Amino acid sequence: MGRLILEYLEGNRIYVCKKCRIHLTNFQNRISKNFKGGTGQAYLFEQGINYHVGLPVDKDLLTGKHTVQDLMCNGCCEIIGWKYIKAFRDSEKYKEGKIIIEKYFIEKIKWK
Ligand SMILES: [Zn+2]
């Protein structure tokens, strides 16, 4: 991997990694709080920054089969959620390209 370049977000409600405090996404990108991950509640976001992804794998989730990638924080490499690459059911297609971050791994802060 190359040099670590950290990005910062605009807006005054930022979600940061609980462990290393890096910016991950913000309130404007939050689509839903109604998701579940391994640690409990999880949020669906349009996009984020300062993360990298693992290899795509097919998983059978509560809402059917999906191709997903693990989402890892660039600051501490913790797996904080996943990215939806492909949904096999039409009703779930809206999630493609979007990310899930588990609430357990993030904290909302006021910025600026
Ligand atoms: Zn982190």
- Residue 50: which CATH number? 2.170.150.20
Residue 22: how many other CB atoms lie within 10 Å: 18
Question: Is residue 106 one of the residues assigned to a domain?
Answer: yes
Domain residues for the domain of 75 are 13-110
Question: Is residue 73 one of the residues assigned to a domain?
Answer: yes
Question: Is residue 8 one of the residues assigned to a domain?
Answer: no
Question: Is residue 84 one of the residues assigned to a domain?
Answer: yes
Instruction: Provide the pLDDT for residue 4.
Output: 61
What's the gap in Å between 72 CA and the centre of ligand 1? Answer: 8
What's the gap in Å between 84 CA and the centre of ligand 1? Answer: 20
pLDDT digits (tens, 9 = 90+) for 45-103: 999 999 999 999 999 988 999 999 999 999 999 999 999 999 999 999 999 999 999 99
Which helix (H) or strand (E) covers residue 84, if one does? strand 79-87
Question: Is residue 3 one of the residues assigned to a domain?
Answer: no
Question: Is residue 7 one of the residues assigned to a domain?
Answer: no
Q: Give Cα separations from 52 to 72, 76, 79, 101 (angstroms).
A: 5, 11, 10, 13
Instruction: Provide the pLDDT for residue 1.
Output: 44
Instruction: Provide the pLDDT for residue 9.
Output: 78
Question: Is residue 1 one of the residues assigned to a domain?
Answer: no
Of residues 55 and 3, more confidence is placed in 55
Neighbours of ion ligand 1 (CB under 5 A): 17, 19-20, 73, 75-76
Domains of the chain: total: 1
Question: Is residue 55 one of the residues assigned to a domain?
Answer: yes
